[in-house]
Amino acid sequence: MVRWRLKSCPKCGGDLLIERDLDFWYEQCLQCSHRTELKPVHEYKEHVTIGTETKEDELALCEDTK
């Protein structure tokens, strides 16, 4: 899937194409060929264990939402 950033080139103000190479993501201008490597973005997720809540915890959550 190809993504575009219109009129966003820092060098000439042209359109940027965002693509992935073998090792990293980059953006490249279609007019002047200016190329910039993009920094990786990591998604952090919180681990949740199902079934560890007690009935008191569930009741406290219900009362807090009222």
pLDDT digits (tens, 9 = 90+) for 21-50: 888 899 999 999 999 999 877 666 666 666
Task: Show me where the domains of the chain are located.
Answer: 3-64
Helix (H, G, I), strand (E, B) or coil at 55: helix
In 3D space, the residue among 18, 14, 16, 15 whose CA is nearest the CA of residue 1 turns out to be 18
Evaluate whether 15 touches 8 at the Cβ level (below 8 Å): yes
- Higher-confidence residue of 2 and 63: namely 2
Is it the case that residue 7 has pLDDT exceeding 90?
yes
Q: Identify the pLDDT of residue 32.
A: 96
**Model confidence pLDDT, tens digit, residues 12-24:** 999 999 998 888 8
> On the CB side of 25, how many CA atoms lie within 13 Å of its CA?
10
